[in-house]
Every structure is written in C-alpha cells, then in structure tokens.
Amino acid sequence: MMGAYVNKRILLLCALLIVLAGCGLGAPSSAALEPVAVQLLWTHNAEFAGFYAADQLGYYTDEGLAVTLREGGSTVDYLTPVIEGSAQFGHAGADDLLIARAAGKPVLAVATIYRRSPSAFVALADSGIARPQDFVGKTIRVTPQVMTQFRAMMARVGISPEQYTVVNLPSELELFASGKADVWSVYTNNFLVTLQQAGYELNVIYPDDYGVHFYADSIFTSDDLIATNPDLVRRFLRASLKGWTYAVEHPAEVGPMVLQYAPQADAALETAKMTAALPLINTGENQIGWMRPEVWAGMAETLHDQGALTQPAQPTTAYTLQFLEDIYRQ
C-alpha cells in the first residue's frame, strides 16, 4: 500500500510540473521571449563575436530576449532600420553616429566595443615606408570609411593632399601583390591578419600614434526606444556585454561561433581576427564597452576640422553612459 501511495504521489508531482511548465513558470519558452532585431554593420565575421557569444550561450534568453542578428554589407543601410524601428539596435562606427546626430538623426550610442580604432596603414617592410612622412609621392589605398582619420593623420605631420595620390581598391590579396598602391589602409583585425597569414612582412602605421584617436564599433539605439523602453535597452546591453566579455576571455572559441552564421567562413582565420581585436576591445582602461567623453569630443573636433561635419557638433548628444553606469554598478 505504501508503495502504491508513493507512486501516486510521484505521478501527481510529475503532472504538476507539466502543468507549471505549460503555464510558463519553468524556463521561458521561445513564445515568451521578446523579439529584438540587431542591424549589423557588415557581413557575419569575428567583428561581431560578442553578439554571437551572447546568442549561442543563452545570455539573451536569460534576459527574456529572442535576438535576430541581421547581416550588413556595403549596400546595407544600418542606420535607418533603427531610426524607423524595424530594428531595435544597431552597430556602427562612432564617427558615423556623430555625423548622423549632427544631421538630426535620433541615434544614440549606448556602448563602444572597439575603443581603439582598427584602422592602420601598411607597406612592405623593405619599401622604406615606415611613417606618414614617407607617404609623400606615393600612391595610397584609402577606403572612404577611414578617409577622415587618414587626412587628419597626414595634416598632423604637415603633409597636404597634393603630396600623395589616393586610390580606392578592394581588400584583395591579388591587388595588394600587384603593386597598384604603395601603402594600404587596412583593419588590423581583418585584412592585416590576411596579409600576415599570406606571409607578407609589413610596416604598420597607426593614426592613433599621431594623435588621431577614434572609437570604432559602437552599439546604438534610437532616442524613442530609450524613452519608451529603457528596460529593454538595459537587458540587451547587459547580455551583449556579457557576450563580449566571454569572447575576449575565450578567443579560440570565436571561429566555430562564426560558422553558425557564416558556414563558408574559415574558422581558424576568424579566430585569428578575434585575437587581433583583443587590444582594441579590452584596452586595460575601464570596463568593456565604456566610453570616455574626451574621446567623443576629440572625434567631433577632428571630423569638423576635416570637413566631415560642416558645423561644430555637440558630442554629448551622440552617446549616453546611463546604461553602462547602471550595469556596471550592479
């Protein structure tokens, strides 16, 4: 009799657990998660490792979010979806956000992931080109995205645009080998890694070494979302920062993570890109994602000096520390 009573109790307990799970009192079901769309700046690669980690390790789910990471690219508008509300968050360069804000677009950075710019310039080690002054009379490959930093660096060493030739070429090994340009603008966490793995010995010149300090990849949202649903902003950012922390602490896992979104990618190369990005993200000052007002002010001044901003910007309107302060205080 006692055994039958115990079995009956177990059956009743199991039935109760099934009912509770059906009522959503257990782990959150996918139907209970709040949908969130993130518009990425570029195609899927290790540049977005923290988002991948937060997604694959369940950090977004823990915050009650079902996150979709929308791929970007050269023809993708990564600002408008956030402004219009079809995406809740976006990923863009800090300089892009300053320019957008000055143009009256209601976008606001809530964290900066790449707190040192990945932009650099490379030349073959035996070329004799080792500093910006050596660019005189040379052909320089510069992409539009880094033109402002390039012009600012050259101005700081007293070299005018008439003293060199600028061309815009795609990031391809064959073109680099062709000698069409003496100096190439690269991202240290992307094409530079590809060149080094191809066996090239290079001199690397950083604008940062010449007083041009730019933030790069930043997480942003709209004024409207911050005003109407600050809790969503806080939850998304908390999970994303946790993901970025994991990616920084476990770079060897990033390559396989990228394959979940870009199956054709080279996992070893993506891991190498993440390793190259570590000093850009984890700078040793403040916490991951933190933003310093003086850096934003310096970027705005440089953009204005180079004509990218036609009038002085108010950099404090382009970012907020509100959510970072809340998250790291906790």
pLDDT-based confidence at residue 10 (cuts at 50, 70, 90): very low
Distance (Å, whole) CA 280 – CA 123: 21
* Residue from 101, 100, 41, 47 nearest 71 by CA: 41
Whether the predicted pLDDT of 23 surpasses 90? no
Is 86 in the same domain as 140? no
Residue 165, domain CATH: 3.40.190.10
Is 199 in the same domain as 237? no
Q: What is the mean pLDDT of residues 115-126?
A: 97
Is 254 in the same domain as 297? yes
Structurally, the chain folds into a number of domains equal to 2
In the listed set 190, 210, 230, which residue is the last one of a domain according to the structure?
210
pLDDT-based confidence at residue 330 (cuts at 50, 70, 90): confident
Task: Give domain status of residue 1, yes or no.
Answer: no
In the listed set 189, 210, 231, which residue is the last one of a domain according to the structure?
210
Is 137 in the same domain as 76? no
Whether the predicted pLDDT of 52 surpasses 50? yes
Task: Give domain status of residue 251, yes or no.
Answer: yes
Q: What is the mean pLDDT of residues 143-162?
A: 95
Is 205 in the same domain as 221? no
Q: What is the mean pLDDT of residues 45-65?
A: 98
In the listed set 210, 240, 275, which residue is the last one of a domain according to the structure?
210
Task: Give domain status of residue 248, yes or no.
Answer: yes
Is 190 in the same domain as 299? no
Is 163 in the same domain as 200? yes
Task: Give domain status of residue 17, yes or no.
Answer: no
Q: What is the pLDDT of residue 31?
A: 65
Global pTM reads: 0.88
Of all residues in the chain, the percent with pLDDT exceeding 70 is: 91
Is 219 in the same domain as 291? yes
Is 193 in the same domain as 125? yes
Task: Give domain status of residue 247, yes or no.
Answer: yes
Q: Which domain holds residue 40?
A: 32-116+214-329
pLDDT-based confidence at residue 15 (cuts at 50, 70, 90): very low
Is 325 in the same domain as 266? yes
Is 86 in the same domain as 112? yes
Residue 155 neighbours by CB under 8 Å, 6+ apart: 305, 306
Whether the predicted pLDDT of 239 surpasses 70? yes
